[in-house]
Structure formats: C-alpha cells, structure tokens
Amino acid sequence: MVKDSIQVSLIGNPNTGKTSLFNRLTGLNQKVGNYPGITVDKKQGTCKLTSEVKAVITDLPGTYSINPTSIDESIVLKVLNNTKGENYPDVILFVADVENLKRNLLLFTQVQDLGVPTVLAINMVDEMGKKGISIDTEQLEKELQTKVVLVSAKKNDGISEMKELLANPASLPLGYNFSSITAKINEQYFSELQKVNPNASLYELWLSVTQKSFLTNSKEDFSSFLDDVTQLKKYQQKETIYRYQRINEILKKTYTLDRSKATDVRSRLDRIFTHKFFGYFIFFGILLLIFQSIFDWATVPMDYIDGVFGSLSESLKAQLPEGMFTSLLTDGVIPGIGGVVIFIPQIAILFFLIAILEESGYMSRVVFLMDKIMRRFGLSGKSVIPLISGTACAIPAIMATRTITSWKERLITILVTPFTTCSARLPVYAILIAIIIPDKKVFGIFNLQGLTLLGLYVLGFSAALIAAYVLNKVLKMKSKSLFVIEMPDYKIPSLKNVLFSVIEKTKSFVFDAGKIILSISIILWFLATHGPSSYYEVEEKVKTELASQNLSEQELEQLIASVKMENSFIGIAGKTIEPVVKPMGYDWKLGIGLIASFAAREVFIGTLATIYSIEGVEDEGTIKERMQAEINPDTGEKRFDFATGMSLLIFYVFAMQCMATLAVVKRETKSWKWPVVQLVAMGIIAYSSATLVYQFLS
C-alpha cells in the first residue's frame, strides 16, 4: 500500500538548480529550521505528487561527494546514514546539471550505493540545444540501473513525470555497484570489513571507517581497519578513480557533446566579466548601479510610508483621550513600527538586485575574480562568499564560513565579516545620508547620495580586508587550504526564484528586526515617560517659573515635554553617558540611541523616533523631519549637521552593534573569547574613528 505522505530528499552538487527545483515543487509551502543538534539551515516544503500522495521535501546542502570536508557537506552523509532519523528519505531526488554530468554522477553513484530508491533528474535540459548536448536516456537508465527524467525547473518541463516516479518509491530500481569496486581495490580487506556487521551494507561500513569523524554513533569496532592511515587514503583514492572510470564508460555510450553545434556565449562573457583589469571595473559599476537604484527607486515609497505613520500618530493623538494608552500607542508603538516599515522599499530593492546577480550566475564570477585579492590578505577564496553574504546579514554569512576547511582562514573570516555593511545598517545610512548629503547629481548622471552609500560599503569592505591582513600576521596558526569554485552557466534569472528570495529575506528583516525594534520602542517609551519622584513635579515647577513669561501654549507644552524628558529615567541615563559620547559630537539622546542599538543597529532610528515623539518636537511629522528639526542647544545650529552625521556614519561602519551576531560568533568558535575580542576591537576602532571625523570636520 502506498503511503499518503513520503519523505523526499533533494541531493546534488552546488549550482545544479536544486533550489529552483525545490521552489518549483513546494511553492510557498516552505519553512526553514535547523537540523537536530546542528546549527545548519534545513529547508523543507510540502508538495502534492499525485492526487493521493503528498511529500515532505527536504533540500539538503549541496556537496560534491559523500566524503565531506565541512559541516554543511556532512549533512548529506549524516541524514543518509541515520535510517531511523526523522529526515531519512523514502526516496531521493538527485539533481544533476546537464553540462556537468560527469562530475555530478560521482556523488550519484555514492548515494545509489546506500540502497535508497533514487530518481536522477537531469536539470537545465532547455539548454541542451544551445550547448550541443544530446542524451540517450533509455541507455543511461539501463547503465545506471535507475530512472532518469529530463527536467527544466525554469520551464516546468518533465516535472509531472518526475512527480509520478517519486510517488511510488517501491517501483524504482536499486543499483548497487560498490562490490565491483571493492573487488578491484582489495577483496580480502572488504571481506573482513563485512564480517564486522553482516546485516549492514558494505558501503555503509566503508563510510563508517572513512568518515569516522562525522559518523560518531557507530556501535561497531573499526579500530583494526584504521591502523594504516596511508593505506586507507590509497583505498579512498582508488574508489574515486574506479567510480570515474565507470562513469566515463557510461557517458561514452549515452552522452554526446558537439561543440560545433553549440551556440554558447558563456566563454565570451567569462573573458569579459573575469578579466584581470576590466572585471573589477564592471563589478564596481554594478555596485554603483545598485546603490543608485536604492536611493532613486525607494525615495517615493519611503516618503509615503514615513508620511502615513506620521499622520497616523498625529490623527490618533487628536482623536483618542489623553492618557497612558494613547501615549504608548502614538509615541511608542507607531514610531517603533514606522522605524521598521519605512525601510522595506530599500531593503527589498537591495535583496532583489543581489538575487538577480546570484540567479544569473554572475556572483560566482565575482567570487572567482576576488579570490586573487583575498589571498593577499590571508583569506581563502571561499571567504568572499561570507563577505558578500554579509551585505544581507552577518549571521548567515558567519554560518557560511563552514565551507572553509582551514580553521585559521575560517576564524579570520568570522572575525572580519561584521565589517561588511549589512541590511541592518542600511536604515541608519539611508536616513543620515538623506539628512546631511544633498540630493543632487554628479557629472549629471550619478546621485551624490548613492555615491556616499557606495563609499560606506567600500569603506566597510576595505576595513574587513585590512583587519584580515593584521589578524593573519598576529594569529600564529598553521594554515593550508584549497579553493574550488563552481562556475555555473549564465542564465536569465527566474522571476519566481528572485521573488521568493526577496520575500523570504525581507520578511526575515521585518519580523526579526521588527520584534526587537518594537520591544525596545515600548521599553524606551516607558523609560522616557517615567522617572524618580522629581519627574512628576517637573510640570508644575516649570509652569510656576515661567508664569511671568508670555509663552504660547504650544511653546510651553514643548518646553515642559523637553524638561520632563531630561528628568525621566532615560534622560538621567543619557546625561550620565553624555561625557563619553560628546567627543564624537553627540548629545545624551544620541548616546541613548547608540546604547539601544547594541541589540540591533537598525534600532537606532526607532529609538530617536520614540525619543523625539515623546519630547514633542515642534512641527512633528515624519521621522526624518523630526531629526532635521532637532537643534544643538550649545551652538543653536541643527543637531544633525555634516560633522555629526558623518561621525555617526563612520561609527556604524566600524561598530559591532549586534548582539545576535556576537551570539553566533560564540556558537561557531565555541568560545566567548573571540566575540569579546571582536566587540572590544571594533568598538575601539568605531569610537576613535568617529571622534577623529567629528573633531576634524567641526
């Protein structure tokens, strides 16, 4: 009897279109979690294979071999080795790339030898004509002893046939080839290995020997098979050689590549995009275009959102009776939510453009191009991936360092990644740039605000490289690594995949950052509207002292609000730290903003919005208008002048203002030593740089 719900695992090399196929099958029915006991993302979704059969589909991390070299790659091995685990598949959907079939089939033969029903899906078949490729599917099925389906995740070709095969795992053939390999390596050795557990498959036992560091739950004693490490490595090398020999024989019969029929432009494009001189200019130009777009495209929706929240707060103040609830709603909750929602347009545009670069295949060329630079600073070429990923968020970027095999290179990458400008900094940058940098064109083409934003990104990335160079000289650790990067074909980005990426990442920002900002906004509202006993006597005291002055009602209310704020809990705390932040050009309100932003950088704007709302700034309106209206009482000039604004921008370029990132660094390094070093070092650099900038510009 066929089960009404089955477990399907997606397995394949990186860049074979696994994610596209996963999105095609599951649509919006997806969730992201962690594997039990492992801090690696697990993407799962549900799919209706037939009218009677549903499937839970797990997208396993991409790997080139079942013999892993990193934590991410070990997931495939662990999932397939744990027959009683919740993620153990009823059937495997192995995704291969039509142009790199030879390399893909190495992992396929290893997976097949584990005895799990497997369907081989050869993806991107819509490119076969352009590449001059033809495949004898029937002969390939016979040689591999499996079911083969030609699919195109982009055009939905072959998906129905693939679903039907997956829906009935019992009908799938099982191909076992490992015994033919062991006979060539050392038949006596493997015969003795089988005796350790006659009920287990020989290949499972072999993996228990060769991957003992990853498979720690084996009950059998394999010590006698681990005595000669040199011999063991030779056997592993021979296994790979014999697998490739068999794969070559199969592909000679079934796979044809005729370059004379190909209409491929990949090579010509690669010569341009990876050029040792022009390649960097092209990349820089693309970055410039992205940052111009962030400001030019997002201005209208941001101004609209800002105005809506400002009007909503004022409207509710006018309609609701005065009291604590109204104050909480209009001065705490609404400014807090507005401090998140206003930046959705810019963040969505950033994620949209980065997703297009990834989908098109260009981002892999960037990684290849930047590897030459990375080596000079003591980093691995693979370090580029976390550094670029850090433009979205430092947390997944730091987790992405698991692909770096050298501990020294991985540790350095972890420590410097927070210098790259993440999306959490974008709200701070955006509003400060809008206030202090004029909105005008340079050379009639470039937006000055966009150029400033690009400069901050370049400064952060440069700081990461300089810090990496210093750490490489300071940290006395031996290091040896090999850089391998997949160069996928160029392709027209799938709008569906791009939108999935934008929605998922923007939603993550809104809900993750939003919860923090809203919570802190409410806490700040409480601290700003309450204080010691003297706080509650301020209003009457001010009215008595100013009774003789002819102040309008509005002026009196504003003055009372300002004095009450200074005497509140938050005002007392701010006044206490003001001497520390004053050299940077900040007053106690900005000091409170800096402290609050240790939870998350983007909290800074929400904090100021809450403080200025409660203080009752004249001509209350949008967040930007309230910040622009703030006056420095010492000078009588605007608080956010050029010197102060630049000081804040420089501070946030270098400061480690994110508790969640510190927690992830601790988890990845298994020590509090490195996050503390990171926090202190980046804090000192940020404070010193911001102070110098302010003192110089003022």
In the 8-state DSSP scheme, what is residue 658?
-
Which backbone phi and psi does 256 adopt, to 5 degrees? -125, 130
CA separation for the pair 490, 473 (Å, rounded): 38
What confidence score (pLDDT) does residue 482 get?
47
Q: How far is CA 194 from CA 182, 207, 226, in A?
A: 11, 12, 15
- CB count within 10 Å of CB 440 equals 9
pLDDT at 374: 77
**CA 386 to CA 395: how far, in whole Å?**
10
Cβ burial, residue 681 (10 Å; 0-12/13-18/19+): middle
Q: How far is CA 198 from CA 189, 194, 211, 216, in A?
A: 14, 6, 19, 20
Q: Are 62 and 17 a contacting pair, CB within 8 Å?
A: no
Task: Give a three-class secondary structure readout of 426-488.
Answer: HHHHHHHHHHHCCCCEECCCEEHHHHHHHHHHHHHHHHHHHHHHHHHHHCCCCCCCCCCCCCC
What is the H or E stretch that residue 539 is in? Answer: helix 538-545
- Name which of 487, 431, 388 is nearest 608 in CA terms: 431
Residue whose entry in the numeric block shows the structure tokens 């794969």: 247
Question: Could you give the C-alpha distances from 322 to 208, 317, 325, 523, in angstroms and in order?
Answer: 71, 8, 8, 20
DSSP 31: E
What span, in angstroms and rounded, lies between the C-alpha atoms of 511 and 503? 12
pLDDT of residue 689: 95
What's the DSSP call for residue 343?
T
Rounded distance between C-alpha atoms, residue 523 and residue 592, angstroms? 12
Indicate whether 39 pLDDT > 60. Answer: no
- Tokens matching residue 38: 């492992």
For residue 693 the two structure tokens come to 């900038």
Structure tokens at 369: 């191009």
Q: How confident is the model at residue 28 (pLDDT cuts 50, 70, 90)?
A: low
**pLDDT per residue over 69-118, tens digit each?**
667 778 888 888 888 888 889 999 999 988 888 889 999 999 998 889 99
Specify whether the CB–CB gap between 69 and 22 falls below 8 A: no
Give the pair of three-digit tokens for residue 101: 């079939």
Give the pLDDT of residue 432.
87
Tokens 């006698």 sit at which residue? 224
The tokens for 536 are 């509650």
Position with higher pLDDT, 273 vs 404: 273
| Joined tokens for residue 162 | 């693939």
**pLDDT 10s digits, 205-250:** 888 888 876 666 666 777 777 777 778 888 888 888 888 888 989 9
Residue 454 carries which side chain, given as an amino acid letter? L
| Separation between Cα atoms, residue 369 and residue 363, nearest integer Å | 10
C-alpha angle 166/170/171, rounded to 5°?
Answer: 75
The H-assigned helical ranges of 551-641 are: 553-567, 569-581, 588-596, 603-615, 623-629
State the sign of the Cα–Cα–Cα–Cα dihedral 97, 99, 100, 101.
positive
What confidence category does residue 438 fall into, taking pLDDT thresholds of 50, 70 and 90? confident
**CA distances from residue 624 to 217, 449, 554, 691 in whole angstroms, order as listed:** 58, 15, 21, 24
Instruction: Tell me what percent of the residues of the chain surpass a pLDDT of 70.
Output: 81
Query: Six-digit token pair at 298?
Result: 């997002």
- At residue 618, the pLDDT reads 43
Whole-angstrom distance, CA of residue 564 vs CA of residue 540: 11
Give the list of residues 6+ apart from residue 485 with CB closer than 8 angstroms, or none: 364, 367, 368, 371, 381, 382
Lowest model confidence (mean pLDDT) among 101-110, 145-154, 386-395 = 386-395
Alpha-carbon distance of 105 to 254, in angstroms, equals: 13
Between 129 and 654, whose confidence is greater? 654
CA dist., res. 544 & res. 548, Å (int): 8
Dihedral sign for Cα atoms in the order 553, 571, 694, 421: negative
DSSP 29: -
pLDDT, one tens digit per residue, over 332-363 is 677 767 766 776 787 788 778 878 887 888 87
Q: Which residues lie below 8 Å from residue 290, measured CB to CB, with a gap of 6+? A: 350, 353, 354
Label residue 291 by pLDDT band (50, 70, 90). Answer: low
Burial class (CB in 10 A: 0-12, 13-18, 19+), 579: exposed
What is residue 228's DSSP assignment?
-
pTM beyond 0.85: no
Transcribe 143-196 into DSSP letters. HHTSEEEE-BTTTTBTHHHHHHHHH-GGGS-----HHHHHHHH-HHHHHHHHHH
